[in-house]
Amino acid sequence: MGPKGKNEGSVQNVSSVAEIEALPETTDAILVSRLDDPKAKALERLRHLRVLYQDGSPTGLTDVGLAALAQLPVLEVLDLEYADAVTDRGLEALHHLPRLRWIDIGGCTLLSEKAVQELRRAKPALEIDGIAAV
């Protein structure tokens, strides 16, 4: 799981907003079941979060939730696989994440080739998984 199989340490598994809210603010790696906008908003308080995986289920994550995730200052790994309600506008919010180094956008069917190219231009070192070479 994750970029090139790298071990991301201890990953906390959560499935509800209440479970996210119960996590220590120092949590740095998380696997969220059925990531959606309310859960993304709850994650926003985890200022040390570096690694965010989700379980790959079809999600209720939209651009609103992505805007919340874009507020995580040290986020490095972001799994958006099958977040099929995320659009180009949501992807643009990620341009300003200073440490983002890996993202999976496989199954994000509303993203255009242009938006992916713009993300590549904004973050040339970013590894983007889940798409054909663009």
| pTM, entire model | 0.90
Looking at the predicted structure, is the pLDDT value of residue 74 above 70?
Answer: yes
Domains by residue range for the chain, with CATH: 3-129 (3.80.10.10)
Better-scored residue on pLDDT, 4 or 73: 73
Q: How far apart are the first and last CA of the chain?
A: 23
Residue 18: how many other CB atoms lie within 10 Å: 9
- At position 35, the amino acid (one-letter code) is L
Give the chain's mean pLDDT. Answer: 91
Stretch 33-56: mean pLDDT: 95
Task: Assign 59 a pLDDT band (cuts: 50, 70, 90).
Answer: confident
Burial readout 82-94 (b: 16 or more C-beta within 10 A, e: otherwise): bbbbbebebbbbb
Looking at the predicted structure, is the pLDDT value of residue 9 above 60?
Answer: yes
At 79 the pLDDT is: 96
At 1 the pLDDT is: 46
Task: Assign 58 a pLDDT band (cuts: 50, 70, 90).
Answer: low
Q: What tokens appear for 119 in the block? A: 């993300």
Cα-only R_g, the chain = 13
- In terms of Cα–Cα distance, which of 101, 110, 102, 63 is closest to 82? 110
Give the Cα separation of 90 and 68 in Å (integer): 10
Task: Assign 119 a pLDDT band (cuts: 50, 70, 90).
Answer: very high
- In terms of Cα–Cα distance, which of 59, 102, 42, 58 is closest to 78? 102
